[in-house]
Amino acid sequence: MKNIALALGLAGLASLFAASTASAEVGVTADLGSTGIGAHISVPVQPKLNARFGINALNYNYSTNANNVDYDFKLKLQTFDALLDWFPGDTQFRISGGVVYNGNKIDAVGMPNAIGSYTINGNTYTAANAGVINGKIDFRKVAPYLGIGWGNALAKDKGWGFSADLGVLFQGSPNTTLTNTGCTAPAAQCDQLATDVAAEQSKLADKASSFNAYPVVRVGVSYKF
């Protein structure tokens, strides 16, 4: 039900954009930050209220160790924003809120150590017999956003401008999966490996739980047409 309500909110903000296209005022912002590389379009709704719509994306690879298992992680950032920017005073300070389509996810591949083995849940397996260990972490697809910022892409008598966002994307508890395929060891050892991978998945889920509130920090430049 929460996702349905948020999806309806996204549709409602989109309708504001459609209604605002009658105005000749449009501001475009290019930004960079924790959501990746992004671009946003701002249109006026009320004198101190703008609607802002945008896309952010970036792929990033890194390696780390978690619970004595080495992983290659691929972070895939992809979000679509539908936000309202309210300017409570006579400055460019804004309070922003809205909904985000959240395509962020993390793909993981378990990597053997220098001697060609994995240690999973305290048990050691040779990589040649254990096969491949793959993991995935993703989040609910529609998530609320709340934040503050600076910069009004539609400010009067303005061409180029500065933009900044500081907020939180409430993406909820992540969905974590960890699987093993291609085990060629004896059946009993493969069964034990499956049990250990399941235990490792539980530990990985605990570590991933810290991502339920994703920090959004962005800076950019804007231009008013």
Count the Cβ atoms, other than its own, within 10 Å of residue 13: 20
Q: Tokens representing 78?
A: 């992809």
Contact 92, 71 (CB under 8 A): no
Query: How does pLDDT run across 60-82, given as a tens digit for each residue?
Result: 998 887 767 788 989 999 999 99
Q: Tokens representing 117?
A: 């083995």
Query: How does pLDDT run across 136-186, given as a tens digit for each residue?
Result: 999 999 999 999 999 999 988 778 999 999 999 999 889 999 999 999 999
